[in-house]
Amino acid sequence: MRTPAPDADYFEGLFAQSDDPWRFKTRWYEERKRALTLACLPARRYGSIFEPGCANGELSAALAPRCDRLLVIDGSDKAVALARQRLADWPQAEARQGWMPDAWPDESFDLIVISELAYYLDANQLAALMLRTRAALKPGGTVVACHWRRLIEGCGFNGDEVHERLHAGLRLQRLCALIEPDFRLDVWCLDERSVAEREGLT
């Protein structure tokens, strides 16, 4: 039987020990994964982006230049403070404190980015996250998910299981699927056209 997912104290403890517990700023693995995530977005720019589980804001800072409005949320107070510092140069960006999925904002978005978050949720929380994600999409909206594929101690799912559930629960056209030994990245969209089709190339 799998153990319960990490709780609030676990994440607060991580950020109490380090401003960058997963080494988002220094690992080439993380830098490359961010670049691939950005490259897989089907649009150059978005009106509004939401990133739940933003941690210290490294991916958030990469998303900020691509939108008119960016909202990021994390449960850890320390993580939110770090994300605000990281986003200080982007006036359209806002970082809030809250635990997913309960703190889901009452807003709609053109792009929702779920990165390294969903396997920390139990089955009921993941189902709620999917429902809220689907309901929060604006017409033509896009969902991007990226997760570590190997099982994390204490987590109920690995990345493959998370993405299989997301694909079934979101009921959206999958535009992109990138699977590597370490992580997988999927893009789903209400607008089923490819990037080439959107630009009139086909």
**pLDDT tens digit sequence for 27-48:** 999 999 999 999 999 999 999 9
**pLDDT tens digit sequence for 5-16:** 456 777 777 777
Overall pTM surpassing 0.85 (yes/no): yes
Q: Compute the distance between CA of residue 161 and CA of residue 165 in angstroms, rounded to an integer.
A: 6
**pLDDT tens digit sequence for 135-186:** 999 999 999 999 999 878 778 889 999 999 999 999 999 999 999 999 999 9
What residues does each domain of the chain span?
A: 8-198
Q: Compute the distance between CA of residue 162 and CA of residue 149 in angstroms, rounded to an integer.
A: 9
Please give the backbone phi and psi of residue 87, each rounded to the nearest 5 degrees, phi first.
-100, 10
Residue 93 has pLDDT above 80, yes or no: yes
Residue 169 has a pLDDT of 96
Q: What is the dihedral of CA 187, 193, 198, 202, to 10 degrees?
A: 130
For tokens 């939401």, name the residue. 50
Residue 17 has pLDDT above 90, yes or no: no
Q: Which is nearest to 17 in space by CA: 76, 72, 83, 73?
A: 76
**Domain made up of 8-198: CATH architecture:** 3-Layer(aba) Sandwich (3.40)
For tokens 């190339």, name the residue. 201
Q: Compute the distance between CA of residue 137 and CA of residue 159 in angstroms, rounded to an integer.
A: 22
Q: Compute the distance between CA of residue 194 and CA of residue 41 in angstroms, rounded to an integer.
A: 11
